[in-house]
Structures are given as structure tokens and as C-alpha cells.
Copies of this chain bind each other. A is one copy, B any other.
């Protein structure tokens, strides 16, 4: 019997509620597929700050590193918003990504047929959108040095950061993206600002060179400003998008909002080896925390990504995906995706309905 160690990082706000549902779904699915899952729960973000004074305790990182995959709920909240940078919940997340070396962030934006009307886009534009943003996650301006505060030649204060990519950083994220595009619709759009930025020119050059190894993938390039427009104009033109850390941050959020139901969207962050990090793309929603109102679908779908991309358990992953679709078809909805004619339930009950569909 196969056995895996999973680190659970419930985090803040609604994090614990949605992770608890996903854990149950993983356990049941695992038992059906003969997969033994051992869970260890650790602190991250605001919860870790309150308990230990730092947003990513050493213990959390080392347990995560020794596990086979990490499932995260959400982090952050008003309470810690004014903290200094090294004491922000977000800093814990950035440290975790860096510590796990998960350089490839996979963010699907899928419009579920049952939820088309939740999109602010017209039905004919939103219907059938199914794209994947592959975002570089451990480089670029998020981590580039030098960074900080300084004084310029006129004695004036400044704030600065460095956008920098080395060859291997571009190559490895491009490879991930080409491979994903190959398994999806065979189209990869690389997004950059190569008409202005040297970092982007270099990015484009490496991507073009690598493309030779993937003759079956149709590669295109788009400037980031145009990509931000095209996502609104005609999102169905996209299959797989690959881009740097900051552009990926912006475009993947835009793409997810286009679906109209960010409570449905999972993500995976993968490295070359070692455990992947799986988390819903939504935030910690402190305003509804503890009220049994959270939508657990995104975390459950993150658990499916964990099985597929993290453990290679594709069948078990597909069982979870089907269970989610079936639960939607059976009409169950949390408040964020509710519409007349469907059945409004809380986080826990939705979890039970998903279990019935597993």
C-alpha cells in the first residue's frame, strides 16, 4: 500500500475550515484508491506569528520539506496588516515558496458550465474559458537584489527593487510550461515586456531557443499590457500562459476573476524535486472566518492537484474532480456562488456533499 506524508498548513481566516474539508476528501479518496495518507498540521502566517513570533517557524519549514506534499489554506488578515515586512503573514508564504524551491506556480482559470453566470463577462465570452497560467514563483523582482531603501545622487530618499532572471530560471519554468501546454491544447503564450525591459528581452530569447525542443507546441509572445486586455476581450484565445513572477501575479488574478468564481480555483507550486505546495487562490476572508460560510471547493480542487502533480496519483485526483462537478450538478452552493434555484449550504455541509460524491 502506497503511503504519503502530507503537511497541512491551515493558516488564517477561513483557512482551517476549508483545509479540514479537503483533508476529509483526501482521506476518503485515498482509502478508495489504496493510498495511505499521514497528515501533520503546522503553523504558517498570522497563526504562526501569534504563536511563535515569526510567520514561518523553522519547524514548519522542516516538516514541510520532509513531507511528500503541502496543502495550504490561506494566510493573512487585518490584524497583521500593519506589521513590518519581516513580520507579515505574506513574508511567511514567500519564505515557504523559497524554502521549498517551488519555482513553478500553476494557476488554472476554468469557467465551470454550472457557474458561467457568476462571471461579470457576457456568457458568450466567459463560456468555455479554460486556461492555465504558469507563473515563475521564486525569482524576478520578488527576490532580486539589490533591494531596499537608499539615497540617490541628489541626496533624495529612494525605494528600489531588482527584476532579474538568470538563464536557468527561465529555462526551467519554460520547460514546465511547454510540457503543460503539450498535455493541454498545445498552445503556449509567453507574456513579457520585451519592447521595454532587458529582463524581458532575455526571457523571450531563452523561451524562443527552448521552443525548438517542443516543435509540437505552438509558441506565441504577447506584451503584458496587451495580455491584460486580451484576457478581458477574448479569454478563450488562451490555452497556456507562461510569465514572470510579478506579471504572473497580476495576470493570474485577473484571469481568475474572469471566471467569476475565485472560490473554485486551485493552484499548485512545484519545484524540480521535493514536495509541491498546493493552495486555493482565494484569500483568508477574515470577514467570514469561523462562520461556516467559506467555499471549500478551491481547496478540495487543490487537493486534487496535490494528488495529480504532487504524488502522481492521477486516478485519485480525477475522482476528486468528478466529485466536485457532481456536487455542483446536484445543486449545492456556498453563498459566494449561490444563484436562485440552487441549494445554499455552509462549508461543512458542502464538505459532506462532496464526500457523498467521491
Contact = CB atoms under 8 A, between A and B. Distances in A.
B163 A163 contact: yes
B158 A161 contact: no
A234 interface: yes
B168 A164 contact: no
Interface residues of A, number: 61
Nearest to A168: B156
Nearest to A120: B125
Interface in A141-200: 141-142, 144, 147-149, 152, 154, 156-168, 193, 195-200
Contact of A225 (B149, B167, B193, B249): B249
A200 B230 CA distance: 26
B160 A195 contact: no
Contact of A228 (B94, B162, B250): B250
Interface stretch (A21-29, A60-68, A254-262, A336-344): A254-262
A202 interface: yes
Contacts of A196: 90, 94, 142
A253 interface: yes
A51 interface: no
A122 interface: yes
Kindly report how many copies of this chain are found in the complex they form together: 2
A160 B162 contact: yes
A249 B233 contact: no
A202 B159 contact: yes
A159 B198 CA distance: 6
Interface string A33-59: 000000000000000000000000000
A257 B253 CA distance: 17
A297 interface: no
A253 B228 contact: yes
A166 B158 contact: yes
A211 interface: no
A112 interface: no
A246 interface: yes
Interface string A240-274: 00000011011111101110001000000000000
A88 interface: yes
Given A156-B168, A164-B158, A167-B156, A149 B229 contact: no
A254 B254 contact: yes
A88 B256 contact: no
Residue of A90, A158, A249 with most partner-chain B CB within 10 A: A158
